[in-house]
Amino acid sequence: MSNPIKSALRAGLFRVESGWDALVGRESNPMYCLGAMSWLFFWVVGASGLYLFIPYDTSAARAWDSIEYISREQWYWGGVIRSLHRYASDAMVLTMMLHLVREWLLDRYHGARWFAWFTGVPLIWMVFSSGITGYWLVWDELAQYLAIGTAEWLDWLGIFGQSIARNFLNPGALTDRFFTLLIFIHIAVPLFLLFAMWIHILRINRADTNPPRPLVIGTLIMLVGLSLIHPAMSHPPADLGKATAVLNPDWYYMALYPLYDTKGPAVAWMVSIGATLFLSVMPWMAFRRKRRAAAVVSPPNCNACGNCASDCPFGAVVLRPRPSGVAGAAQIAVVQPDLCTSCGMCVASCNRTNPFLKGEPRETGIDLPDFTFDLMVKRLSARTHGLTGNNRVLVLGCEHGAVLDHLKGASVGVLPLHCTGMMPPSLIDYVFNKDLADGVLVTACRPGECFYRLGPEWTEKRMAGERVPKLRGAVPRERVRLFWAASTETKKLATELAEFRVALAELPPMAKPESTKRRVAE
Amino acid sequence: MIKPQYIAGQVVAYSLFAVMIGYFASSPPYTHHTPGNALIKLSLTHAGQKMGECRERSAEELAKMPPNMRTKTSCGRERNAVTLEMDIDGAKAFAQTAKPAGLSGDGRSRFYSSREITPGRHVIQARMRDGNDHNAFDQVAEVVVELAPRQVFVIDFDEEDGKFEFK
C-alpha cells in the first residue's frame, strides 16, 4: 500500500487517535475533523477581526497606540477579542498543518482526490499572508522585523521597480497610506481565502465544515481561557531608527524568517517555492498506485432513486435526464469517472443490489467493473463454504482496516471489500437465509479514518435501520455485530471475534429460513 | 453532553492544546540582532552615467529618419554598472558592482546591505563608481560617527545633491 516509514507513521497516528478517544471521547477528538476545526478557527478569527477593525487606527503614528488601547483599556473585552484573534489564527495554522499531514498519511491525496489536495496548497500561502499582514498592523518591534524581513525577501526577486525595503529605512519614510493599504490586504486576503476554502471542498459530497458541538464548545472555552490567562500583548512600538533585538515571534507564522536571516533570501525562496511545488505535484507522484475502474451504471436497472448520488462521498454520481429512446424513469444516474474513487458505496445503496433477486449473473443498477456485486455474492458463498461448528462466523470488512486474513479458520470465513460501505445489508440476510454462517461480524475502519469517506457512518446507519438500504428488521440482531477496527487493531478484532463466537455458541439454533419472497419485496 | 468519565481527560487535553498554542505564539524568544550592537544599513539606488558619448547626426542621416524622430544628437540608452565600496575603520566591509535594471540596461543599479557593528566611534568611507573611467571613483565620502547600541545608521545617496548621505 505504501512505504514502511509511512505505514509505521500511520500506525502511530491510529494509536494516538485511539488513545485520544479513550481520554476525551470520540466526539471531542479533533483529529477526526481537522479540516472542520480550521473552518471553526477561521470564523473565530473573522468575527474577532470585525470587532478589532472598529477601534483600530490606520495611521503609522497611532496604530500601535490604538492596539494598546484595545489591549489594556478594554482588556476585559477588547483584549480578550484581540487574544482570541491571535490564538484562533495560531490554532488554524496548527489544525491546517495537521490536516495536511494526516491526509498524506491516510493516502487521501491522489486519484480522484487530487483536486482537494491541489487546491489546498494555495490555502497555506493565504493563511500565512493573512497572519503576517495582521502582525504588521500592530506596528511594534515584531512588525518592524517582519516588515523589513518580508520587504528584503521580496526585493531579492528583483521584479519590483523600486526597492520595498527602502520604505523602512527611516521613520519619515512611512506614510498613513501604507497602513490603509495594509489593512486592505489584511481583509482582502482572508476573503480570498474563504473563497479558496470553498473551492477546496467543492468536490466533496457532504463536506463537514462544522466540528461536533461538544468540540466547538470545549474549544471556544479553551480559547477564552487562554486569552484571559495569557493575553496577547504587543512588543514596544516600532522605531525604524532602532535595530530590532530580542523578539518573541509567533512561531506558527514566522518559522521561516530565521531561515531567511541565517541563510539568505535565495534559500528561503528555494524552501518555500520548493515545498509549494512539491506539495502541488504530490498527487501525480504516486506512480505505482493503480487507479481502479470507476463505477458503471446499468441503464435498464437504474430507476433513478438517487440513493447512489446521495451516498457517494465525492459527488461522483449525479442524476441526469435519461437519454431519449432508452426505456425507464425520466432520469438516470450518471457516474463522473474523474471523481469516482471506486469505493463501492453506490453499489450498496442501489435498491437493485439484492442477492435475493433472480438472475445470473446478478445485475444491479450501478456496479464496480473489477468487483461486481455478482462476484461479491459468489465470493461470499466460497468463503463460507465448508465452515464447521455451531458458531460459524463470516467477517465482512474493509481492505484498509484490520487484516482480515489473520482471522480465517475452520469456523471463520472472511470477505474483504473495497470499503465496508459497499456491503448491502441484504447480504447479511442472505448469509442467514442460505445458512452460510451462524453469525456475521461486520468490521469497518473507525469513523473519521475511512480511506474513502463516510463508509463506517453509512454502514452503521444502514445496519441500525436509519438509512436506506436498511437491514431487514427480522434479521436476528444477536447474530450480527458491528465493530470498528483500524489497521492497527487486528488483535482487538480477533478478541471481539472470539467473544462473538462464544456468544453465538450459547444461542439456540436458528429457525429454518423462510421464503425469500418477502426479502425481495423489502 | 460530555460523559463524566471524559471530563478529566478533556480538561487535560484542552489544557495541553492551550499550552501548545499559547507557548509557541510567543516563545521561545529569538535574537535578531545582538542587543548591544548597532546596525549599519547601506541602501541606495542610483543610475550610472550613460555609456559612450552622444554624437551629432549628419544631415543625410536625419533625412532618412521620420520627421518626428529627427533629433540632432544620438545618445545610447545603456548605462554603466555602478560599483559601490565601503570601508569601516580602514577595512573593506562592502564591495559590489550592480548592473543597471531594465531590458535595455538603462535603469537604476540597486544596493542593499545591513551589518551589525559594535557601538562607539567608527570611520566610514563610501566610494562609488558610475562613470566611464574604470580606474577612478566618481564619488567618495567619509564620515566619523559615534554609534549607540541598537542605533540604525543609514548610508544613502542623495540624487538631488549628487552626494552620499549619512543619517
| The predicted structure's pLDDT at residue A501 | 96
Give the C-alpha separation, B98 to A131, whole Å. 34
**Tens-digit pLDDT profile for residues A139-191:** 999 999 999 999 999 999 888 878 889 889 887 778 888 899 999 999 999 99
Residues of chain A contacting residue B14, judged by C-beta atoms under 8 Å apart: 218-219, 221-222
| The predicted structure's pLDDT at residue B23 | 97
Q: Do B10 and A28 touch (CB under 8 A)?
A: yes
Q: Do A245 and B2 touch (CB under 8 A)?
A: no
The chain B residue lying nearest A23, using CA atoms, is B9
User: Which of 57-86 (A) contact B at CB < 8 A?
Assistant: 86
- Catalogue all structural domains in chain B, each as residue range(s) with its CATH number: 38-51+80-166 (2.60.40)
Q: Do B14 and A214 touch (CB under 8 A)?
A: no
Residues of chain B contacting residue A226, judged by C-beta atoms under 8 Å apart: 18, 21-22
Give the C-alpha separation, A40 to B51, whole Å. 61
Cell of A74: 478594554
Which of B14, B16, B42 is the best substitution to test chain A (most A C-beta atoms within 10 A)? B14
Q: How far is B38 from chain A (nearest CA, A)?
A: 7
Banded pLDDT at A522 (limits 50, 70, 90): very low
The chain B residue lying nearest A219, using CA atoms, is B14
More confident residue, A389 or A413: A413
Per 3-state DSSP, what percentage of chain B is helix, strand, and coil (rounded to 5)?
A: 20, 45, 40
Q: How far is A29 from chain B (nearest CA, A)?
A: 9
Which of B10, B45, B115 is the best substitution to test chain A (most A C-beta atoms within 10 A)? B10
Which of B7, B32, B114 is the best substitution to test chain A (most A C-beta atoms within 10 A)? B32
| The predicted structure's pLDDT at residue B54 | 81
A205 has pLDDT over 50: yes
Nearest to A305 by CA among A353, A338, A374, A342: A353
| The predicted structure's pLDDT at residue A512 | 63
Q: How far is A234 from chain B (nearest CA, A)?
A: 10
Q: Do A24 and B101 touch (CB under 8 A)?
A: no
Per the CB < 8 A criterion, the answer to whether A479 and A440 are in contact is yes
Q: What's the rounded mean pLDDT across residues A270-293?
A: 90
- Beta carbons within 10 angstroms of residue B7's beta carbon: 12
Banded pLDDT at A36 (limits 50, 70, 90): very high
A359 has pLDDT over 90: no
Residues of chain A contacting residue B21, judged by C-beta atoms under 8 Å apart: 87, 90-91, 94, 226
Per the CB < 8 A criterion, the answer to whether A179 and A137 are in contact is yes
Give the C-alpha separation, A506 to A479, whole Å. 11
- Catalogue all structural domains in chain A, each as residue range(s) with its CATH number: 34-284 (1.20.810.10), 296-521 (no CATH)
Per the CB < 8 A criterion, the answer to whether A147 and A173 are in contact is no
Burial (CB count within 10 angstroms: exposed 0-12, middle 13-18, buried 19+), residue A216: middle
| The predicted structure's pLDDT at residue A516 | 55
Q: Which of the residues in chain B have pLDDT under 70?
A: 1
What is the ipTM score, two decimals?
0.87
List of long-range contacts for A19-25, beta carbons under 8 Å, 24+ apart: A20/B13, A21/A446, A22/B9, A23/B6, A23/B9, A23/B10, A23/B12, A23/B13, A24/B6, A24/B9, A24/B10, A24/B13, A25/A214, A25/B2, A25/B3, A25/B6, A25/B9, A25/B10
| The predicted structure's pLDDT at residue B51 | 82
Burial (CB count within 10 angstroms: exposed 0-12, middle 13-18, buried 19+), residue A393: buried
A113 vs A109, A120, A316, B121, B155, CA distance in Å?
5, 11, 11, 64, 54
Rg (CA), chain A: 29
| The predicted structure's pLDDT at residue A171 | 79
Q: Do A25 and B30 touch (CB under 8 A)?
A: no
| The predicted structure's pLDDT at residue B107 | 86
- Which residues pair with residue B147 across a beta bridge? B120
Task: Identify the three-state secondary structure at position B88.
Answer: strand
| The predicted structure's pLDDT at residue B1 | 65
The chain B residue lying nearest A149, using CA atoms, is B32
| The predicted structure's pLDDT at residue A514 | 57
Give the C-alpha separation, A416 to A412, whole Å. 13
Q: What is the CB-side half-sphere exposure of residue A170 using CA atoms within 13 A?
A: 11
Q: Do A243 and B43 touch (CB under 8 A)?
A: no
Per the CB < 8 A criterion, the answer to whether A355 and A426 are in contact is yes
Residues of chain B contacting residue A240, judged by C-beta atoms under 8 Å apart: 152
**Tens-digit pLDDT profile for residues B59-101:** 998 999 998 988 888 888 888 899 999 999 999 999 999 998 8
Q: Do A23 and B12 touch (CB under 8 A)?
A: yes
Closest in A245, A248, A261 to B26, CB measured: A248
A513 has pLDDT over 70: no
**Tens-digit pLDDT profile for residues A285-321:** 976 677 889 999 999 999 999 999 999 999 999 999 9
Residues of chain B contacting residue A230, judged by C-beta atoms under 8 Å apart: 22
| The predicted structure's pLDDT at residue A163 | 84
Cell of B16: 495541553
Q: Which residues contact A6 (CB under 8 A, 6 or more apart)?
A: A105
| The predicted structure's pLDDT at residue B135 | 85
| The predicted structure's pLDDT at residue A45 | 98
A219 touches chain B (CB under 8 A): yes
A521 has pLDDT over 50: no
Which of A135, A150, A157, A226 is the best substitution to test chain B (most B C-beta atoms within 10 A)? A226
Residues of chain B contacting residue A170, judged by C-beta atoms under 8 Å apart: 152, 154, 167
How many DSSP H helices and E strands does chain B contain? 2, 11
A121 has pLDDT over 70: yes
Q: Do B151 and A214 touch (CB under 8 A)?
A: no
